[in-house]
Amino acid sequence: MQASISGLCAAIGLQAHNMKALMRITAMPDLWDTLRDGTFAAAPRYRACAYLAGVLRVLLAVALLVAFGMVSIAGAQEPGGWSSDLNVNPPASPRAPKTDGAGGTTVIKKKPSEAPVPADVSKVRLIALLTADGQRIDQDLTWRVFEEATEPRTSGKLISKHTEAAPVLTLKPGTYTINAAFGRANLTRKITVAAGVEATEPFVLNAGGLRVRLAPVAGGMEAMKSSYDIMTDERDQRGDRRIVLVRAKPDTVIRLNSGIYHVVSTLGDANATVEADVTVEAGKLTEATISHKAGRVTLKLVTRQGGEALPDTEWNVLTTDGQTIKKSFGALPTHILAPGKYLAVAKSQGRIFRREFDVSNGQSIQVEVMRQ
């Protein structure tokens, strides 16, 4: 203890003789006994005062040491003890986010947790190819997934419909019927799904494109309403063709399966038609140009040549052999007709009036039927 007091006194600047006296005092059992016995009696008064000042300095230093010791003990309390609201450890600086080379901050988004896939299902990715060489279709696809049919010549229940280019299906083990449609090109086939696997099912559509153009028509009639129908080349037992698409517009690309098709183009709304067979190749665009020959005819029922057209007239245009080409109603119906000979029949107020007329390519005429 004396060594500790000696060091403490040296730290606070006490003289050597004061230090010795202080050590004697601290070694005695009672300071007041020392004073009573006259230890300081022989010392001059000023020396006694110095001794007392040194003692007070030591006591003050000890008090300060005790106070700092309590603060240190409080800072070292285990969690769960009392708190002094004094944090002796400086707060850790937040870790700077990683940045890219240009100085921007890289934000790492937390990936959403995916629900686990049950062991008794599988994931099947569907992809569509234009041709067998692997050219993939990445837009305008429609997928339909059906359950296996329980009865022959029937389709199963529609399970789902997808418009993504390559949808991923979660399916239970079994057999399914899948239809892939790309415009009018499509393919339907069955797939068998095993349990707990991931597979890719390619659908080779062997699809191509068809664009029908309309050549200029004499007389500027190419701006009239025109359309064309697409039918299969093959005929059924009754000799009819299956219709693929009706009233398609010229200069529009139609997606079709590869094969031969029968095209019927119509200019106007009557018999100005042209028929042709076209071949569509897989992965290619086929262009067909159709040339029409036709004339424009306006019908009018009059009481005199060059007179006003009578309203509420029912019209029927026939071929010379009696085949009906077009029926209409009104004062001035206009039709586009193929070149040839025709018979115009007008019905007004219960009476019927007739007149034959000819149509030439590129010609625009008025056919007046006299009401006599």
Q: Where are the domains of the chain?
A: 2-75, 122-205, 208-290, 295-370
**122-205 and 295-370, same CATH topology:** yes
For residues 180 and 368, give the distance between their C-alpha atoms in angstroms, rounded to a whole number.
Answer: 56
Say yes or no to pLDDT of 365 above 50.
Answer: yes
Say yes or no to pLDDT of 10 above 90.
Answer: no
Packed helices 16-27 and 45-75: angle between N→C axes, nearest 10 degrees: 70
Instruction: Name residue 274's amino acid.
Output: V
**CA-CA-CA-CA dihedral for 325, 328, 331, 335, to nearest 10:** -50
First and final C-alpha spacing in the chain: 152
Choose among 126, 114, 197, 117: nearest CA to 167. 126
Predicted local distance difference test score (pLDDT) of residue 334? 94
The pTM for the full model equals 0.64
Q: How confident is the model at residue 116 (pLDDT cuts 50, 70, 90)?
A: low
Mean pLDDT of the chain: 78
The radius of gyration of the chain's CA atoms, rounded to the nearest angstrom, is 54
Interval 41-69: pLDDT, tens: 444 444 554 556 565 665 765 555 445 44
The count of C-alpha atoms lying within 13 angstroms of the C-alpha of 181, restricted to the half-sphere facing its C-beta, is: 10
Predicted local distance difference test score (pLDDT) of residue 295? 94
For residues 245 and 111, give the distance between their C-alpha atoms in angstroms, rounded to a whole number.
Answer: 47
pLDDT, mean of residues 81-85: 33
The SS3 of residue 72 is: helix
pLDDT, mean of residues 220-239: 86
352 or 11, greater pLDDT: 352
Predicted local distance difference test score (pLDDT) of residue 121? 87
Least confident of 14-18, 333-337, 364-368: 14-18
Fold exhibited by the domain 122-205: Immunoglobulin-like (2.60.40)
Predicted local distance difference test score (pLDDT) of residue 329? 96
Q: How confident is the model at residue 38 (pLDDT cuts 50, 70, 90)?
A: very low
- Tally Cβ neighbours within 10 Å of residue 338: 19
Predicted local distance difference test score (pLDDT) of residue 16? 46
- CATH (residue range 295-370): 2.60.40.1120
Taking CA atoms, 55 is separated from 1, 12, 48, 274, in Å, by 15, 11, 11, 129
Fold exhibited by the domain 208-290: Immunoglobulin-like (2.60.40)
Strands 207-214 and 285-290: parallel
Say yes or no to pLDDT of 83 above 80.
Answer: no
The owner of tokens 């005695």 is: 28
